[in-house]
Chain A
């Protein structure tokens, strides 16, 4: 039982390049989330999904797209990377929509856009 796995762990992009971050969970969780972590800003929600085939925008969705084709995977895409997207990205998942449910986090992806 690996929990939440993110790939890659590190990536350097040039401005304008595209890439996809993969999040996989093996806990049969319905809910999955993508956050970015920036100094002084804490964690900000980018997009989230409440089930296979569904996605929704969070606080800072601009410049990102997501897909949830399979229940266990949640992909975050950057179509045209910008230096402002330099950040640490975290994926998380939870089993249900109950408000006392905890989140399980991945180990993060350090992305630098030059």
Chain B
């Protein structure tokens, strides 16, 4: 069965500390990987996607096919990074976007 796991429900760090939000997946195909973010009182929006190999707001995510992981990282967390983060692996032609259970990031001053 296709599964995506975000093991941490809540992650609290201090401003300036490194942060890593974990995402593991088990898919029969080769998925494309996305991270979506939901800031307080805002709608979900795309943060970054693996295929673009981009860094958005200081965040990066590396796809590790051996470990089937797509962890989201930022070297120095900011208070404005506090939000709910969802990992979403998409399999080509699958027509469906499945999301992990989400990790709430709380960056303390």
Contacts and interface: CB of A to CB of B under 8 A. Distances in A.
Contacts of B44: 43, 90, 92, 103, 105
B6 interface: yes
A113 to B, nearest CB: 22
Given A100-B49, A105-B45, A107-B43, A59 B32 contact: no
A106 B38 CA distance: 12
Contact of A33 (B86, B91, B97, B102): B97
Nearest to A50: B95
Interface string A71-114: 00000000000000000001010100111101101111000000
Interface of A: 31, 33, 35, 40-45, 48, 50, 56, 58-59, 90, 92, 94, 97-100, 102-103, 105-108
